Structure 1
Amino acid sequence: MNAGEFEPVHGVPDLFVHDTGMFDTDEYGSVYVYDADEPAVIDTGTGANRETLFKTLDEVGIERDDLAWIVATHAHLDHAGGAGHLAKRYPEAEVVVPEQGVGHLVDPEALVAGTKSAVGDQWRYYDDPEPVPEDRITGLADGDRIDLGDRELVVHDAPGHAPHHAVYHEPDAEVVFTADAAGIYVPEVDTVRQTTPPPQFDLDQCLRDLGAVADLEPEYCCFGHFGPRKYDESLIGEAKRAYVEWVEAVRAKRAELDGDDEAVVEHFESTSADVEFWNPERARADASLNTRGVLTYLDRTEE
């Protein structure tokens, strides 16, 4: 699948995955469209390539007044940056996000500033988010249910990646929209990479979140990056190992370099294996974010 295209999620009726073309990388940004009785878009991308998502919704057959739900897994702008733009185009849709993310989408100024600081030159791949009107957004809590008419999504908090992160479970189809809670799935090598951005990554909570996904026993995991994957028991084990080994690698390199954190970041930028699998510029940027997230986590937990 190429940027701007969409295709059915095999094995899950009425579900489509749209490739936003985020960061000029095919399949890096996955948005899911549920053509249910009450149609939903799950995550939105940055908003920069929103016209291709609008086209996908048109081709699926979801009219402007038909879209019922704009469902954000969390407030990070690569997942929710387009929420306000979608709300403006689809006037009947209700925006939902975990409760701690509501303020970020209603007034995104602080989130934009933090994102610009974290991503640097990569901001050119984003778009200024449109604020979501307060009367169009609802905060979600663990155990809440999103009614799609002929099916529902069950909310499960997953705050290890960020406090405003949740996963959504559709029990009948046995699919879980994991966003970033189970890492980044890399199809080329059929494995999972960690995603540990600053400032609120928490390793222990991430491991609990991964266990919670496993407890749901899904048939399919819909990742926020690089699309869906059929679930098997090895997936969660791979993800847990990736997170633990990554944190230990950053911890060891910091000790080796006598606490020179910029040198630690530069090391992992220059040695990132992900340049083999996607856009080298993005791979280096991911390495920087992931390293800084772990360094912040270590500062917090070792105090």
Structure 2
Amino acid sequence: MNAGEFEPVRGVPDLYVHDTGMFDTAEYGSVYVYDAERPAVIDTGTGANREALFGTIEAIGVGVDELAWILPTHAHLDHAGGAGHLAGRYPTAEVALPERGMRHLVDPERLVAGTKSAVRDQWEYYDEPEPVPEDRIAGLVDGDRIDLGDRELVVHDAPGHAPHHAVYHDPDAGVVFTADAAGIYVPEVDAVRQTTPPPQFDLDQCLRDLGMIADLEPDYLCFGHFGPREYDPDLIEEAKRAYVEWVAAVRAKREEFGDDEAVVEHFEETSADVEFWNPERARAEASLNARGVLAFLDRGETP
């Protein structure tokens, strides 16, 4: 699948995945369209290349007055940056996300500033978000159910990645929309990579989130990056190991170097992710992930 294209999610009727073309990396940004009785878009991408997403929604058969839900899993702009643009395009759709993220979409100024500081030169791949009108947005809490008419999504808090993060579970279809709660599964290398952004990554909570996803016993995991895959219990254990080993590696380099910028530079220069991401993105991802762990360690939290 190429940037701007979409395809059905194999094994899940009425569900489609769209490649946003994020960061000029094929399939890195995944947006899901559920063509249910009350259709939903799950995650939105950055808002860049949004016309292609509008085209996908139209091609699936969802009209501008038919989309019922715009459902970011959390407020990070690679998942929610397009919410305001979608709200403007689809006037009858309600935006809903974990309630701790609501304020960031209603008034995105602080979120934009924080994102620019975190992603630096990568901001060129984002778009300025449009605010979501307060009367078009609702907050979700753990256990809420999102009515799609002929099915529903159950909300499960998953705040290890960020306090405003949740996963959405369709129990009838056996699908969990994991966003970043299960890490980033990269098909090219058949492995899970950690995602540990600043400022509020929490390793211990992240491990609990992974356990929660396993307890749901899904058939499919719809990742926020690189699309869906069939569930395998070993994948969750692999993700847990990836997170624990990553935090240990960053801690060890901090002890060795005694300088956080040197730690970040080390992981930027040694990132193996150039195997499947472009070098620019690999360095940026390593920087974000290292800075997130350093912030976690600064809070005095230990695995």
* TM-score normalised per structure 1: 0.99
User: Which residue is 1:92 aligned to?
Assistant: 92
- Could you give the per-residue CA deviations for residues 82-101 of structure 1, whole angstroms, max 9, x where no partner exists? 00000000000000000000
Measured in 1, the distance between the counterparts of 2:252 and 2:264 equals 13
1:97 and 1:205 map into 2 onto residues whose CA distance is: 19
Partner of 1:286: 285
Q: Distance in 1 between matches of 2:26 and 2:186?
A: 12
Matched, 1:242 2:242: yes
Separation of aligned partners in 1, 2:9 and 2:124: 30
1:144-193 deviation per Cα after TM superposition (whole angstroms, max 9, x unaligned): 00000000000000000000000000000000000000000100111110
Aligned to 1:192: 192
Distance 1:37 1:162 in 2: 31
Residue correspondence of structure 1 range 264-279 to structure 2 within 5 A:
264-279=263-278
Range moving further from structure 2, 106-115 or 273-282: 273-282
Name the residue aligned to 2:260: 261
- Correspondence 1:94-243 to 2 at 5 A: 94-243=94-243
Distance of 1:208 and 1:195 partners within structure 2: 15
Secondary structure of the corresponding residue to residue 301 of structure 1? coil
The aligned residue for residue 74 of structure 1 is 74
**Given residue 217 of structure 1, which amino acid in structure 2 is its aligned partner?**
E
Deviations 1:52-78, CA, capped at 9 Å, x for gaps? 000000100100000000001000000
Q: Quick one: which amino acid aligns to residue 294 of structure 1?
A: V
Once residues 14 and 278 of structure 1 are traced to their aligned partners in structure 2, the CA distance between those partners, rounded to angstroms, is 30
Displacement of 1:302: 5.2
Aligned-partner Cα distance in 1 for 2:39–2:299: 41
Report the counterpart of residue 18 of structure 1 in structure 2.
18
Q: Note the aligned Cα RMSD (angstroms).
A: 0.8
1:42-57 paired onto structure 2 within 5 Å: 42-57=42-57
Distance 1:9 1:279 in 2: 26
SS at match of 1:188: coil
Give the number of equivalent residue pairs: 302
Q: CA deviation at 1:279?
A: 1.5
Specify the SS of the correspondent of 2:299.
helix
Amino acid of the structure 1 residue aligned with 2:256: E
C-alpha distance in structure 1 between counterparts of 2:39 and 2:279, whole Å = 36
Distance 1:108 1:62 in 2: 28
Structure 2 unmatched runs, 5+: none
The one-letter code of the counterpart of 1:285 is A
What CA distance in whole angstroms lies between the structure 2 residues aligned with 1:117 and 1:254? 22
CA offset digits 1:254-283 (Å, max 9, x no partner): 1011x2000000000011111111121111
Q: Show the counterpart of 2:294.
A: 295
Partner of 2:61: 61
Aligned counterparts of 1:50 and 1:271: Cα–Cα separation in 2: 34
Rounded to whole Å, the distance in 1 between the matches of 2:38 and 2:289 is: 37
Code of the residue aligned with 1:143 in structure 2: it is G
- Residue 15 of structure 1 and its aligned partner are, at CA, apart by 0.1
Amino acid at match of 1:204: D
Q: Deviations over 1:222-260 (max 9, x none)?
A: 000000010011010000000000000000011011x20
Q: TM-score, normalised by structure 2?
A: 0.99
Supply the AA of the counterpart residue of 2:33: V
Mapped partners of 2:281, 2:8: distance in 1: 27
